[in-house]
Structure 1
Amino acid sequence: MSAVDITELDVSGDRSGISLAEPGDFFALLKPRVMSLVVLTAITGLVLAPGPINPALAFIAILSIALGAGASGALNMWYDADIDAVMGRTATRPVPAGRIAPETALAFGLAMSLLSVCMLGLALNWFAAAFLAFTIFFYAVVYTMVLKRWTPQNIVIGGAAGAFPPMIGWACVTGGVSMESAILFLIIFLWTPPHFWALAMFKMKDYAAAGVPMLPNVAGETATRFQIFVYSLILVPVGFLPFAMGFAGPVYGIASVLLGAYFVYLAWQTYRMADGDEKMLPAKRLFGFSIAYLFSLFGILLVEGLVARLTTAGGL
């Protein structure tokens, strides 16, 4: 069933025409867990960017980026309702579960997209707003509608959408991008494949049922484990670059080395895992730790950046 076909169904679950949606369902459309990562990385980019920024404008900037991320999530859930319905971890989402109609999710996502971009452009600058608009388009159209169902490299290319927020935050302050913001982008970009492929390793049946060509289903477990390990080896030194380039402090430098070493260790354990291992414990451990790894790096960067701003003349 395609994303268009599902709009023809009575997904309300109530023949009286009364919607079953509650406020929490619309909040779920925003993919709040993904949004939390977007907000953290965007704030980090904004705080690390050189130059002062009014706290009220900073709040509007982060709110706009958060709404843009939520809009992307809503558009993704609208289009992916057919495959979400057959995957265990997504079947209870508001659209496939019938609590929100697909056309409602589409309208909600489009309205949020327009609001977030206009608000960012009017309050901050139109370069950052255009960057946000491109990010929404890239995630909702390039990744969701094209790459996800077409190529096993969907996560590699599509991961750029999730890596743009720190650059947008940086652009809110400076009106442009820089090498430092590109490094923040690269950390998330290189983190995405081992993170999602570790998940795909123990969700192969779900992806097979949905017809999504994730790497383990297409290239096999051995090739996937090898690529997870290779990406991890590249990620860790890139994660050290903020300290090496002088825009992160010693706490970040030490943390990036220690966390990175454990990331590589878990990736190595995953690489050594036998084909057909039903428990998939190394992959599950890597997936869980990868979340802590990225949140820790950006959390430390954020704290160090806030301390630096507050201790300089004029504060923020």
Structure 2
Amino acid sequence: MAHDSTPHAPGNGANQAGSFLFPKPPLTIAEQREHLRERGLGLEGFPDEGVDFFLASNNYYRISGYWLTFFDRDAGRFVEGATLDDIVHVMAFDDELRFLVFRMIEPLEIRFRTSFAYHMAHIHGAVAYRDMRLFDLEDAFERSQSEIDRAIRIGMRGRVPCVTHNMEKYGQLPVWALVEVLSFGTVSKMYGNLSDGELRDAVASDFRTTATLLKSWMEHLVYIRNLCAHYDRLYNRVVTKRTQFLREDIRLFDRLHLQRGRLFDTFIVLKRLYEHFDPVMWKMRMTALRDLIDMYPEVRLLPLGFPEDWLNVLSVEG
């Protein structure tokens, strides 16, 4: 065989068919099934075709995030008694939980967009978002301007009525229309970059909290909302976008020895926002959460950071 003298970039080798090489070969569906069986996962009660259908419908790598609580990493095997049923139940629970959390965040996001636009327009004018003097960091301001310009371009191409009407008639987009086409993340970052104390505090007052806490809470909710919107896992997730808490909530975590950085952090934030925004709706959401948890008694709540008395902890007056 002739020696191949053609230089290749490290890690980017390709065979003659043009396929790029990777140290781990892909597994077929049948190989994935047998790999799970060899590592000790109970597949009893599932015909091979049923397991194969499950694996073909759910990416193996996605499923692996849900079996973490049933897997002994040191031994490289599933814990004794772990079954495919366990994983299916956790995935079903997480799917319903994701939908519920998304529904909880949605009205707060809308309220935040509304408050930001309302106070900016009334204090500084309809297009004050273009004024660098209202913001702190120039780099963050320029990034937000790029996002604004991009949203307007997309709105014009898509013939979004609130964009086309204002741009064709006035050549500018008032902030109350802008917040309807910007991402939640961009609005949150714009608020977080405000240097104007009057505007910052006016928005925070609508949520009965401080500007510092509102900035932290909204940035956290953006992160969680995006996980929900992209069908990502909430169960047993370490929440990398940490949030600030009220002092009494910090004491609560310490008193109950709760692990921070889990989804229970999000529920504490949601509780604090809802107790002033809509306590009746919060009670309805907590009832829905209780019903969901009751539907899956075999799913442990500890990986979510929930205490045993979670319902009382999350209760609000009103």
**TM-score above 0.5, yes or no:** no
- Give the TM-score, by structure 2 length: 0.28
More helix by share: 1
Q: Which has the higher contact order (CA 8 A, sep 6+)?
A: 1
- Give the TM-score, by structure 1 length: 0.28
Bigger Rg over Cα: 2
